Amino acid sequence: MFNPTRLVLCVGAFAISLVLPHVVTAAPAAAPTPVPIAHPDFSSMQFLTGTWTCHETVRGKDRPDTSTTTIGLDGAYLVGHDVAPPFDKYRSVPIKTDFYTTYNPAKHQWVSIAMDSTGGYFVSTSPGWSGNTMTSTTVISADGATGSDVLTKVSNTQTRDVATSKGANGKVTHVTTICSKS
């Protein structure tokens, strides 16, 4: 049978449940897990930071350039910017090169990636310093040339770099660059 009192009690309970907040127990929010950021130990290369004036002989002429190097990308890379102005009839525009060097702990080697304003790029790897020299192996993209590079720390303000490359045609080229820190 229909009981109006019961209906009022049920409707009243429903109204009370709409007005009173429900207590909800939730699990505590999980704390975010920070992403580890590996920062290479640049202490052996710290002397390279700053502005350098460099000279090399190309086609019998002095080819100057200016290179500025910093620690960048939140400490993950040695970052360089190099500008080589025109210096002969074959090099009639400045060439700008940017490079990024970091350490790959899985392979125990330094890795450099560089690209320039002519569309060229290269990838270079090195096991690191041996005394005052660092030897790198390089693959140059544009023509598939390969090479090696021996960077010598003469002092905290001078370096000598001897680069040897072998083009796809088999031609071997040697270039020595002397740089002084400004």
Give CA 31 to chain center in angstroms.
30
Residue-level pLDDT at 103: 95
CATH topology of domain 46-181: Lipocalin (2.40.128)
| Alpha-carbon gap, residue 57 to 39, rounded angstroms | 36
Place of tokens 């660059």: 177
Residue-level pLDDT at 5: 42
CB atoms within 10 A of CB 121: 16
Q: What is the DSSP letter of 16?
A: H
Residue-level pLDDT at 25: 60
Classify strands 95-104 and 146-155 as parallel, antiparallel or unpaired.
unpaired
Please give the chain's pLDDT, 182 residues, in tens. 444 444 343 444 444 444 445 555 666 777 787 777 778 999 999 999 999 999 998 878 888 999 999 999 999 999 999 999 988 788 789 999 999 999 999 999 999 999 999 888 889 999 999 999 999 998 877 677 888 999 999 999 999 999 998 887 888 888 899 999 98
Cβ(179)–Cβ(152) under 8 Å?
no
